[in-house]
Amino acid sequence: MSYADRILQMVHENNGTVTTAEVTNAGILRGHLKGLVDKGLLEHVARGVYITPTVLNDEMFYLQTRFRRGIFSHETALFIHDLTDRTPIKFSMTFPLGYNTTSLQKENVRYTRVKKEHFDIGVVRTKSPGGNPIRVYNAERTLCDLLRGRSNTDIEVLTDAFRRYTRLEQRDIPLLSEYAKIFRVEKKLQSYLEVLV
């Protein structure tokens, strides 16, 4: 099997996408990607990300491929967890304090930075709407993030998100309470839950 065939097989197994890192980890020189682009078999859509021409653009996957430390959060996480009907206009991502966000200012991203000890709390792996793997904060962490003072989330969106959360089979109220303590939003959380539960 040629290198080009191996790359195309990887693309097929990855839902129509492949990254430069995946190709080099497989022991294939990245120059073979350029050859496939020149032949029209792949398109270069973002730094280090290639897709087949028939695949729809999966902006969430590409953003996380480019900004590996970023985790989808806030309104974007609400959308991914089906806790809102509003499709995000800008994607919300969270990064650890000290992360250089200069290049994010040219992207369709609203970013937040948090203390390193809080950064990994509640991270889960799921699929983007395009079917590619992404990392996002779980529903409990997302709700606590939105209750924090710096969130500019519309009160209607927040109320609807809590209403939908209380109807979820997989809801974890003890975990939500634990996160509320960590992020110091216990009183705000209690007022929402008293109304809805």
Q: What values do phi and psi take at 196, rounded to 5?
A: -95, -25
Instruction: Write down the pTM of the prediction.
Output: 0.78
* Confidence band of 111 (pLDDT split at 50, 70, 90): very high
Give pLDDT tens digits for 59-97: 898 888 888 899 999 999 999 999 999 988 899 999 999
Q: What pLDDT score does 75 carry?
A: 94
Residue 130 has pLDDT above 90, yes or no: no
Residue 35 and residue 1 in contact, taking contact as beta carbons nearer than 8 Å:
no
Q: Would you call 154 helix, strand, or coil by DSSP?
A: coil
Share of the chain above pLDDT 70, in %: 95
Q: What values do phi and psi take at 93, rounded to 5?
A: -135, 150
d(CA 128, CA 155) in angstroms, rounded, equals 26
Q: What pLDDT score does 56 carry?
A: 64
C-alpha angle 74/79/81, rounded to 5°? 95
5 or 93: whose pLDDT is higher? 93
* Confidence band of 108 (pLDDT split at 50, 70, 90): confident
Residue 169 has pLDDT above 60, yes or no: yes
Give pLDDT tens digits for 29-40: 988 998 898 888
Q: Where would I find the beta strands (DSSP E) of the chain?
A: 17-19, 43-46, 49-51, 71-72, 91-96, 109-114, 123-127, 133-137
d(CA 108, CA 24) in angstroms, rounded, equals 28
Domains of the chain: 3-57 (1.10.10.10), 68-196 (no CATH)
